């Protein structure tokens, strides 16, 4: 398994914000103490280029975000904060996603996990949203297409709907998107009727769930949803927006899941990947804000992801 981790992600200083430096510090500490840093292959990589980021984001937003970071502008959107270190963190997060995809597509390994921040799945083509600066998973999907793939599938199990990712691929027809998320909840999108349009019609699938859902029901609905979409699109690669804020103790999101349940979800996605794309999965860290349960949930995820 490929593992992307770096202290650069601690340079994105958001103060006492829920998406704080301590999140990645706790995850990095777990990666060390649990032996993942020695067990996995840890590549070096470069920050994403302007051209790579431009596959998703508008040039004006790229320039504006860089300026905001240089100015340490602070709050740039209702829920989103930047500091001087945010630019290096955000460009290296996108760069990790690109590098992981290229290595997996080229056969260096079948699995990769990117322990990155800031998260990305709310980020819009023209602006930040919901803690997110660049849409890492959308940039990764475009990298997969550039590497020669024709059908990519994104699975998003973050407690919040990945509205930014959905927007990017709503008319595309090369990148399928499945999201299971709490509803009604932020950001208010992700209805079952949102299924794509034009070339992307039928390539978008949403599974909104209520806050009182059980683990059994959550697992069954995820399984049915991803199997149905994968049967339609026959993905050559699975990208996973791995948020851990559906944990029952999460202070921002919370649903019904415990640490071990993220291992079970990973096994379901791994089985799907084995059936459709030779087991190829690139997983990217999204949300998860409980400082004790986040690293434990990530560890459960990695234990299954590393099996191949």
Q: Which residues are 154's β-sheet partners?
A: 177, 239
Looking at 92, 121, 122, 181, which residue is catalytic?
Answer: 122
Alpha-carbon distance of 35 to 88, in angstroms, equals: 27
How many angstroms separate the Cα of 281 from the Cα of each of 84, 273, 308? 32, 7, 10
93 Ramachandran zone, left/alpha/beta (phi>0; psi -120 to 50): alpha
Burial of 81 (0-12, 13-18, 19+ CB in 10 A): buried
122 is catalytic: yes
For 215, the enclosing helix (H) or strand (E) is: helix 215-233
- Both structure tokens of 80: 């989103």
In the chain, beta strands by DSSP E: 2-4, 74-77, 80-82, 111-114, 152-156, 175-182, 204-209, 237-242, 281-285
Return the active site residues.
Answer: 122
């Amino acid at each position: 398994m490929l593992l992307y981790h770096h202290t650069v992600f601690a340079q994105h200083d958001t103060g006492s914000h829920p998406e704080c430096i301590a999140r990645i510090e706790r995850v990095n500490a777990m990666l060390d103490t649990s032996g993942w840093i020695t067990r996995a292959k840890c590549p070096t990589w470069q920050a994403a280029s302007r051209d790579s980021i431009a596959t998703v984001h508008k040039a004006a937003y790229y320039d504006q975000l860089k300026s905001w970071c240089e100015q340490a502008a602070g709050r740039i959107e209702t829920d989103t904060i930047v500091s001087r270190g945010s630019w290096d963190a955000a460009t290296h997060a996108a760069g990790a996603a690109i590098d992981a995809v290229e290595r997996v597509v080229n056969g260096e390994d079948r699995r990769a996990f990117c322990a990155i921040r800031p998260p990305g799945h709310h980020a819009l083509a023209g602006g930040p949203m919901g803690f997110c600066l660049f849409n890492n998973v959308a940039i990764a999907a475009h990298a997969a297409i550039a590497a020669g793939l024709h059908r990519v599938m994104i699975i998003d199990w973050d407690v919040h709907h990945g509205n930014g990712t959905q927007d990017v691929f709503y008319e595309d027809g090369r990148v399928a998107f499945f999201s299971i998320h709490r509803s009604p909840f932020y950001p208010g999108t992700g209805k079952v009727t949102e299924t794509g349009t034009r070339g992307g019609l039928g390539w978008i699938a949403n599974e909104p769930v209520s806050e009182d859902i059980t683990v059994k029901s959550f697992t069954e609905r995820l399984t049915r949803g991803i199997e149905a979409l994968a049967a339609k699109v026959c993905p050559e690669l699975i990208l996973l927006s791995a948020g851990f804020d559906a944990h029952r103790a999460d202070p921002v999101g919370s649903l019904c899941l415990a640490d071990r349940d993220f291992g079970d979800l990973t096994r379901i996605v791994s089985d799907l990947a084995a059936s459709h794309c030779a087991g190829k999965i690139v997983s990217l860290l999204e949300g998860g804000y409980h400082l004790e349960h986040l690293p434990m949930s990530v560890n459960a995820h990695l234990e299954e992801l590393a099996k191949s």
